[in-house]
Structure 1
Amino acid sequence: MKKFFLLLAMFAGSVFSLGADCTQGFLPIIPQPLSVELNDGGYRTGEDGIIYYYTENPVASGKSVSFLKKYLSEYYDIELKETGKKNKADLRFCLASDSSRKEGAYTLSITEEGVELSGYNEPGLFYATQSLIQLLPCDGTAGREEAILLPCAEIYDEPRFSYRGMHLDVVRHIFPVEFVKKYIDYLALHKMNYFHWHLTDDQGWRMESRSHPRLNEYGSYREATIIGIFPGTGVDSTRYGGYYTVEQLEEIVDYAADRYITIVPEIDIPAHSMAILSAYPQFGTEPGRKVKPAITWGIFNRQNNVLAPSEELFSFLEDVFNELMDVFPGKYIHIGCDECAPRWWQESEKVQDFIREHNLGDERGLHGYFAWRVGEIVKKRGRIPVGWDDITKDKVPEGTTVMCWRGADNGYKAAAEGHQVIMTPSRISYLNRMQRPGEDSLCHRSLTTLEDVYKFDPVPDSIPAGIAENIVGGQGCMWTEYFAYPSSVEYAVFPRMSAIAELYWTAADKKNWPLFLMKMPCQFRRYDLWGASSCKYVFESELIPFNEE
């Protein structure tokens, strides 16, 4: 006997009922669309395990069709097949080009005659596909012998911000290529379009360098790793590390591009540079000192991890940043510039001479000089340098985007000065933090709950329009000091990644915390469907009930 799934019916057997204030426009789509109109009836599709599609523009719809085809096959054992007859298709992909619409705008129309996915641009068509995916049974119970009944609905949607992303640190712990791809899929399923990839730090250098191979020979492996929460109970005896080859990096770039995701690669300078110094100690403030990649965390102001300015160093940095830009074609290139302790420059006579000779004033001026010199390398290639908001301690170089992590006010200040800003305040956006009180797993011991994340507004009404227009969006950050395995990363990011997606996609007046919670039972079943770990504290805390059946 065939089974039919009507999306709203999935909630009827749950242990909660849909509140009267949420009865209009309630579909378990995250992030919440701009406009949703639910209508009577539904469209049944998937007979005999086949869904037929028609496309008016095979090139424009190619990435969307490929993604949906893979998803249906992997999770539902359903085949997506093309038909040349529009009236025979279950799904119709259309490109309604309109330059007045935001990039990512789309409509999704489900009637009793079929489903039409229409993007106002190619990314919009892809995001329409993601919304359709979220209207499938969230537990993957459909299959070749089952049909799916989609609810009739009219959806218009567009993103609030142009930059919507997630970050992954692969230095403290490195992850297989296949997991990096899976992580990118998670971003795509949440309509995110930027992946900030943290590739270098004190504990390792994670990209192949053909111009300076010592970076891989000496900088990619550390001799041991701290045990437990910093300052730890000692260190293990395991050599740890590795790096991604140029071919692997290019493979991941292409994989992300097929999902309309741009990678923002980061080489972090002038601090966080012990991996560089292990290969080239002459670039430090103590050239004779033997340096190895760090085996612990908490380096700031404790260990000398800074670069000393010299023309030889800037020539080296030009080489490695050009290598980076040869692989990563995106417009943003992250140059780091965070947590640079001035004491190491203050204690170096050579550095103090450089400050005097270049009329930089002090160590803040030197920090700004680093941001300017490396930023010019990036801009020479037609790219946009991005720096952590520590660069605001000195004059921010023209054309540099500020990534705000030390608090939202630093972002607003930079925006008021005319700089483009990406928001990622650590109190809200750093997902290496506890997500429930008394968290017993390894993580940063400060607390950021799902509700904390969701209720943050990156641009509240109190921010004047002239400042708000310079805030291009934001991201979540996944630092991996305490997260050595893909499953532990997933546990940390889910469900908070879903809340971050809504922060930067959904219009402020469409955000609704109770409605978001009501979507969570279905969303957690999706995590399970994807094979992803997640933290179910929202249920354990009785914020919402959850039926495991």
Structure 2
Amino acid sequence: MLRLDTHLDPEAYRVTVERHGVRIDGGGPAGVFWGAQTFRQLLGPAAFRRAPVEPGRAWSVPMVAIEDAPRFAWRGLMLDVARHFMPKDGVLRYLDLLAAHKLNVLHLHLTDDQGWRIEIKRYPKLTETGSWRARTKFGHRASPLWDERPHGGHYTQDDIREIVAYAARLHISVVPEIDIPGHSQAAIAAYPFLGNTDVVDTAALTVWDTWGVNPNVLAPTEDVLRFYEGVFEEVLDLFPADPAQAANGAPGAPSNAPRASRTPFSGFVHIGGDECVKDQWRRSPAARARLRELGLADEDELQSWFIRHFDRWLADRGRRLIGWDEILEGGLAPGAAVSSWRGYAGGITAARAGHDVVMCPEQQVYLDHRQDGGPDEPMPIGYVRTLQDVYRFEPVPPQLTEEEARHVLGAQANVWTEVMENQARVDYQTFPRLAAFAEVAWSRLPAPEERDMADFERRMGAHYRRLDALGVDYRPPAGPLPWQRRPAPEGMTGGLGRPIEGSPPNV
């Protein structure tokens, strides 16, 4: 029996298994859905397969009473489909995996220097030109290896509508990211006037084929603002603030899935705002003149002008801007929320100023970083982040007061795909660490140093069998399987767990 209990919080649930029946109560439709995920866990790993492997099997579950509720409202995964494109079916599969772990936000990183992945009908060259690169750096940017095959792809507008509608059926918000003003070479390659044409031959630019921080940034002109307003107009249509109506009629959604309600963060739009190299603005006479015209003190304030413009533009349409913590530079837009990735400092600053924060520090929850320092691990990027490191992640910094801590919406693990050229590599980097992150984001755990890692690893023994049933190509606890190994070229290992000199921050 499924039913609503308004005495519970919207995402809270109660599962009661008695001798003659099962009852799942939820404070809202999402709570009922999360309770159903817990009940599926009680049924055992076979319940995670798409079809029964033992026809006619009698299912049994222990008699229990479980009442639970999430600690954080925002429990997210950032999936970078710009660096390496993930086809639509792969994204839908990851939505299923998020739902199985009671995660409720998919932050979809759709544009970057290496590719533009979303169809914008009024600007067709964004995908005709911007979604394909001629070749790809293989591994870390310091690697001597290249994949000489063209790489690319994009989602049609109907693909995006399907993804958003299916996510809403699973009570997951999809937050799109369209990068401005940096990480924009793919867009500039498609429409050269977007770049700083007085200091760069933007017509000669192509979609970038390597990794790191790119110097090509958008020009601070009215034409660029109008262009991106056009982009965002179509984005808002594709990512509605209330996707429930579309979701309730979505093709391909499971017939037994609960009818969707408004997902809590569907009104957010991520604008990037990170790693904006300002050298071109400093050299550009046009940018310098623009800075003086606007009465701005420096290039940091010019970046803030970009962010503030779109904060107001989105707010006028009932939406909310969120960006990486560099949007603090030059003054934070009044309504903006912050994704704190460069450690905790940006999140602390934002929360103290009264802005909402999603904690996703690189040092704890960047899942593209290596899981172990052994020589059989895939080509290194960043530092070692073990399963234990992720399990000991604490989203709320102790420096915050109780009032300030209320601005921490939650936490997010980030999967940047420079070194992940296919689904198997994404699985390997993401799991099992995403399971540890999911427990941190949902549960009220003890202080990091008091968390029982031995108990978590014991429970993971059962969860690995669920991941097997789901077809997840995770990293086994004993180390990579033979087909998962991809050692770095000689001289590039950076030692056991130490990054290569100049390891990029990945965002």
TM-score normalised by structure 1 residue count: 0.78
Secondary structure (helix, strand or coil) at the match of 1:489 reads helix
The separation in 2 between residues aligned to 1:505 and 1:166, in whole angstroms, is 13
Larger radius of gyration: 1
Distance apart, 1:247 and its partner CA: 0.6
Counterparts of 1:70-469 in structure 2 under 5 Å?
Answer: 92-98=1-7, 101-139=8-46, 143-286=54-197, 288-289=201-202, 290-298=204-212, 300=213, 303-329=214-240, 330-438=266-374, 440-469=377-406
Deviation beyond 6 Å, 4+ runs, structure 1: none
Distance across 1 between alignment mates of 2:412 and 2:99: 14
C-alpha contact 2:139 2:418 (8 A) present in aligned 1: no
Moved more, 235-244 or 103-112: 235-244
AA of the residue aligned to 2:427: E
Contact 1:170–1:206 at 8 Å: present in 2 too? yes
* CA–CA distance in structure 1, aligned partners of residues 101 and 118 of structure 2: 27
Give yes or no for the alignment of 1:527 onto 2:463. no
Whichever residue aligns with residue 4 of structure 2, its letter is L
Give the superposition deviation at 1:459: 1.3
Contact 2:140 2:418 in 1 (8 A): no
Distance in 2, Cα, partners of 1:388 & 1:126: 31
Preserved contact between residue 322 and residue 339 of structure 2 (Cα < 8 Å): yes
Change (3 A) 1:129 1:365: same
- Structure 2 CA distance for partners of 1:222 and 1:285, relative to 1, 3 Å: same
Do the aligned residues in 2 keep the contact of 1:161 with 1:505 (CA within 8 Å)? yes
Look up the match of 1:487.
Answer: 424
| Alpha-carbon separation, structure 1, partners of 2:155 and 2:268 | 20
1:49 corresponds to which residue?
A: none
- Write the mapping of 1:50-69 to structure 2, written as runs, cut at 5 A: none
Aligned residues: CA RMSD: 1.7
CA distance in 2, matches of 1:335, 1:228: 27
CA contact (8 A) 2:138 2:419 kept: no
- Deviation, 1:234, is 4.5
Structure 1 393/115 Cα, relative in aligned 2: closer, same or farther at 3 Å?
same
Does the CA-based 8 Å contact 1:321-1:377 persist in structure 2? no
**What are the superposed Cα offsets for residues 435-483 of structure 1, whole Å, 9 maximum, x if unpaired?**
1112521352421111111111111555310110000001111111111
Per-residue Cα deviation, 1:17-65 (whole angstroms, up to 9, x for no partner): xxxxxxxxxxxxxxxxxxxxxxxxxxxxxxxxxxxxxxxxxxxxxxxxx
1:130-170 deviation per Cα after TM superposition (whole angstroms, max 9, x unaligned):
00011112256873232222111111111111111101111
Judge conservation of contact 1:142–1:148 (CA < 8 Å) in 2: no
Contact 1:442 1:483 in 2 (8 A): no
> Residues of 1 paired with 2:138 and 2:406: CA distance?
45
**Per-residue Cα deviation, 1:236-288 (whole angstroms, up to 9, x for no partner):** 33221111100111011111011000100000110000011001111211254
Q: Do the aligned partners of 1:271 and 1:338 also contact (CA within 8 Å) in 2?
A: yes
Gaps of 5+ in 1: 1-91, 542-549
Counterpart CA distance in 2 for 1:324 and 1:429 is: 28
Q: Deviations over 1:163-219 (max 9, x none)?
A: 111011111111121111010111101111110000000001000010111111211
Query: Which TM-score applies when normalising by structure 2?
Result: 0.85
- Deviation for aligned residue 1:235: 3.0
Aligned-partner Cα distance in 1 for 2:137–2:11: 43
Question: Structure 2 CA distance, aligned partners of 1:486 and 1:540?
Answer: 19
Deviates more, 1:497-506 or 1:398-407: 497-506
CA distance in 2, matches of 1:274, 1:94: 50
The CA distance in 2 between the partners of 1:207 and 1:116, in whole Å, is 42
Name the SS for the 1:487 alignment partner. helix
Aligned 8 A contact 1:335 1:375 in 2: no
SS in 2 for 1:508: coil
Q: Indicate conservation of the 8 Å contact 2:268/2:320, yes or no.
A: yes
Instruction: Render the CA deviation track for 1:357-377: whole Å, top value 9, x for unaligned.
Output: 111110110111111112222
CA distance, structure 2, for counterparts of residue 451 and residue 103 of structure 1 = 31
1:148 alignment partner, SS class: coil
2:137 aligns to what SS in structure 1? Answer: coil
Deviations 1:285-312 (A, max 9, x none): 12543211100001x2xx4320011111
Question: Counterparts of 2:206 and 2:53 in 1: how far apart (Å)?
Answer: 53
AA partner of residue 466 (structure 2): R
Paired residue secondary structure (2:45): coil
Q: What is the aligned partner in structure 1 of residue 259 from structure 2? A: none
Q: Supply the distance in 1 between the matched residues of 2:88 and 2:224 (Cα, whole angstroms).
A: 31
Q: Which residue of 1 aligns with 2:442?
A: 505
One-letter code aligned to 2:402: A
SS in 2 for 1:365: helix
**Count of equivalent residues:** 444
C-alpha distance in structure 2 between counterparts of 1:445 and 1:339, whole Å:
17
Structure 1 or 2: larger strand share? 1
